[in-house]
């Protein structure tokens, strides 16, 4: 049906071209004789009747060759004009050849003026369709624009976005101005839209042009530049969107429908983290790799990046079947059978299940990401934090040692440093388990990686803020002074994989999280980037620190020193000595206590983790 519709349109356009050619060459002949038909000699009328059909056939054939009947003329632009120009240059040459070969005598006005008018008429026909369509769009919208848009970036992506806004019947939008730092472009136009200045003009132009939405069309710009521009946009009350990345632009996927809201990652972004992918791929290639908690935020990203390195076998192990199924299907879509993907359901607390998995698959590498991590919930269920985090880690570590796993990597957290909550204390115990196992094991290298908050992970603050903004507020913050370290999930995972390459056993790798971020500032910027005004459209409410929550997280304990690695973003904290036999005895007592649901479990943990202060709700 669609194909037939296109053919009908092409035939109609061809008939209109024929009509316009008759008019053009007819006018040119009449013009030679002062528009007096009676003054035209019979031989010229004969020549007109002979040459015009030939010119028509040539024109339609050349237009078809240049695909001028295949274009969507509602989106006609410079490329169509360029093809029309080339077609008419060739036609002028062919017309002259036919004229000389035919030995017909015709006025030169007929040839040159006729060809020129035919070019003008056929070009006007095609571009008038676009003009008429734009007038109809304006009429349908009642001349009112629901959105007034500023586009930042006068490059290829910006041009695509502006063109689509200008030609779409479904978008009641007016692009009012363009911002670009290239001073050579300032004062010029894209589809009639002025380029008015660089990034310093953003705030002024928003008021001057009454802008309601800003589109950042800079897919290939350095991260620091994008961050500075988006920070400027956050000073306005405009909704801010951005185009996809540079690879989507190359693939031709940039369009208004692909625009996404600016995310807090765009504000907190850093320059691309430098990791040695060749080293990582060489390390993971042809290995059997087990990821516990493989369906979670960190675990699933570990699976993605590991799968891309072509291991011999990737084993996803998770208690939550929906998450495991989701990452399994994603990897199957991307890699098919590559990597021999295995997805298993089970708990790290189940020793028999772990024994079965290790006995069957004998993994070369284990990335242990399974853990309870929600701070307030664990404060209410401290026994579960100990059972799952501490003894789950111990169970997996013992199986790794028993079945000859070459390397075991624990995913830890900055909350393990001087912890004020049971979740952080449990993760510090996990680190101690790893250090103890590293000293006891001859075959397996046990290491831990420690980093702060990851943007967008399950239970993190960013998805909560977005949901609260969508619901109209309020946005809730525990304390106006609270700050955190942030990193994107892919960044954190790539550094975890790099750290795994450096491991020799017993290390705690500490990932450089950059500068800490004030949560209150982050929330307010997110509100503004969503097109709202904080405390006017969306209220911001301070609820007070939750049990066990710190104002400031730390990455390093006082007793730990730092050692450099080949990657400046990865440091090694020196192990803290403790007596392994005494620690094992305490673990046994802790195991009994948490299964008996005793009331003083936090005090028992504090006796082992000396830096844990369960009654301290605020640390500076």
Task: Give CA angle at 547 (543, 552), nearest 5°.
Answer: 80
Whole-angstrom distance, CA of residue 616 vs CA of residue 419: 9
DSSP string covering 347-377: -TT-HHHHHHHHHHH--SEEEE------HHH
Whole-angstrom distance, CA of residue 534 vs CA of residue 515: 24
**Burial status of residue 299 (CB atoms within 10 A of its CB: 0-12, 13-18, 19 or more):** buried
Q: What is the 3-state secondary structure (H, E, C) of 401-458?
A: HHCCCCEEEEEEEHHHCCCCCHHHHHHHHHHHHHHHHHHHCCCCEEEEEEECEEECCC
Q: What is the 3-state secondary structure (H, E, C) of 507-540?
A: CEEEECCCCCEEHHHHHHHHHHHECCCECCCECE
**Cis ω on the peptide bond leading into residue 544 (within 30° of 0)?**
no
Tokens, residue 64: 């078809």
b/e 215-238 (16+ beta carbons within 10 angstroms → b): bbbbbebeeeebbebbebbbebbb
Whole-angstrom distance, CA of residue 47 vs CA of residue 178: 54
152 phi/psi in degrees, rounded to 5 = -105, 115
Using CA of residue 532, residue 533, residue 539, residue 541, what is the dihedral sign? positive
DSSP string covering 276-293: -HHHHHHHHTT-EEEEET
205 phi/psi in degrees, rounded to 5 = -65, -30
| 415 catalytic residue (yes or no) | yes
DSSP conformational letter for 163 = H
Residue labelled with tokens 């390390």 = 283
Annotated active-site residue in 213, 287, 373, 415: 415
Residues counted in the chain: 620
Q: What is the 3-state secondary structure (H, E, C) of 89-149?
A: HHHHHHHHHHHHHHCCCCCHHHHHHHHHHHHHHHHHHHHHHHHHHHHHHHHHCCCCCCEEE
Whole-angstrom distance, CA of residue 79 vs CA of residue 160: 13
Whole-angstrom distance, CA of residue 393 vs CA of residue 434: 8
Residues marked as catalytic: 415
């Amino acid at each position: 049906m669609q194909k037939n519709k296109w053919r009908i349109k092409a035939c109609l356009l061809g008939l209109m071209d024929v009509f316009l050619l008759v008019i053009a060459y007819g006018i040119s002949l009449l013009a030679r004789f002062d528009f007096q038909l009676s003054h035209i000699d019979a031989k010229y009328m004969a020549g007109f009747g002979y040459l015009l059909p030939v010119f028509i056939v040539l024109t339609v054939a050349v237009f078809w060759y240049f695909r001028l009947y295949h274009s969507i003329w509602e989106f006609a632009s410079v490329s169509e004009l360029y093809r029309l120009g080339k077609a008419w240059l060739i036609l002028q040459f062919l017309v002259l050849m036919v004229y000389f070969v035919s030995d017909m005598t015709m006025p030169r006005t007929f040839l040159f003026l006729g060809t020129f008018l035919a070019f003008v008429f056929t070009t006007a026909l095609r571009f008038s369709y676009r003009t008429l369509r734009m007038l109809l769009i304006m009429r349908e919208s009642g001349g009112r624009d629901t959105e007034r848009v500023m586009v930042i970036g006068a490059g290829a992506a910006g041009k695509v976005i502006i063109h689509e806004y200008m030609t779409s019947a479904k978008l009641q939008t007016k692009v009012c101005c363009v911002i670009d730092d290239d001073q050579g472009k300032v004062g010029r136009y894209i589809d009639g839209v002025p380029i008015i200045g660089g990034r310093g003009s953003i705030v002024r132009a928003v008021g001057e042009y009454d802008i309601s939405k800003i589109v950042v069309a800079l897919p290939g710009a350095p991260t620091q530049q994008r961050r500075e521009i988006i920070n400027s946009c956050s000073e306005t009350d405009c909704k801010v969107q951005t185009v996809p990345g540079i690879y989507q632009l190359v693939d031709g996927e940039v369009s208004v429908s692909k625009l996404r809201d600016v995310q807090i990652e765009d504000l907190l972004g850093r320059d691309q983290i430098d990791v040695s992918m060749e080293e990582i791929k060489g390390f993971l290639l042809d290995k059997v790799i087990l990821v516990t908690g493989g369906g979670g935020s960190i675990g699933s990203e570990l699976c993605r990046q590991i799968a891309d390195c072509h291991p011999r076998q990737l084993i996803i192990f998770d208690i939550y079947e929906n998450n495991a199924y989701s990452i399994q299907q994603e990897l199957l879509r991307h890699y098919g059978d590559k990597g021999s993907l295995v997805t298993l359901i089970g708990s790290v607390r189940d020793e028999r299940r772990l024994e079965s998995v290790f006995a069957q698959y004998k993994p070369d590498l284990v990335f242990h990401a399974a853990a309870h991590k929600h701070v307030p919930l664990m404060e209410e269920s401290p026994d579960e934090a100990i059972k799952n985090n501490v003894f789950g880690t111990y169970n997996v570590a013992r199986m790794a040692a028993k079945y000859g796993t070459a390397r075991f990597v624990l995913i830890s957290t900055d909350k393990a440093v001087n912890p004020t909550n049971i979740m952080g204390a449990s993760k510090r115990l996990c680190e101690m388990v790893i250090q103890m196992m590293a000293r006891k094991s001859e075959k397996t290298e046990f290491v831990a990686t420690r980093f702060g908050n990851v943007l967008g992970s399950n239970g993190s603050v960013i998805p909560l803020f977005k949901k609260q903004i969508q619901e109209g507020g309020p946005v809730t913050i525990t304390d106006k002074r609270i700050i955190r370290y942030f990193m994107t999930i892919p960044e954190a995972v790539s550094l975890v994989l790099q750290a795994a390459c450096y491991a020799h056993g017993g290390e705690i790798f500490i990932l450089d999280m950059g500068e800490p971020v004030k949560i209150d500032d982050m929330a307010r910027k997110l509100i503004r980037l969503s097109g709202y005004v904080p405390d006017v459209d969306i209220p911001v409410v301070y609820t007070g620190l939750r049990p066990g929550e710190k104002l400031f997280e730390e990455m390093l304990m006082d007793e730990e020193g730092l050692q450099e690695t080949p990657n400046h973003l990865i440091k090694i904290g020196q192990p803290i000595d403790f007596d392994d036999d005494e620690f094992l005895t305490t673990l046994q007592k802790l195991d009994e206590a948490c299964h008996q649901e005793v009331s003083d479990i936090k005090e028992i943990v504090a006796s082992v983790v000396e830096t844990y202060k369960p009654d301290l709700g605020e640390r500076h």
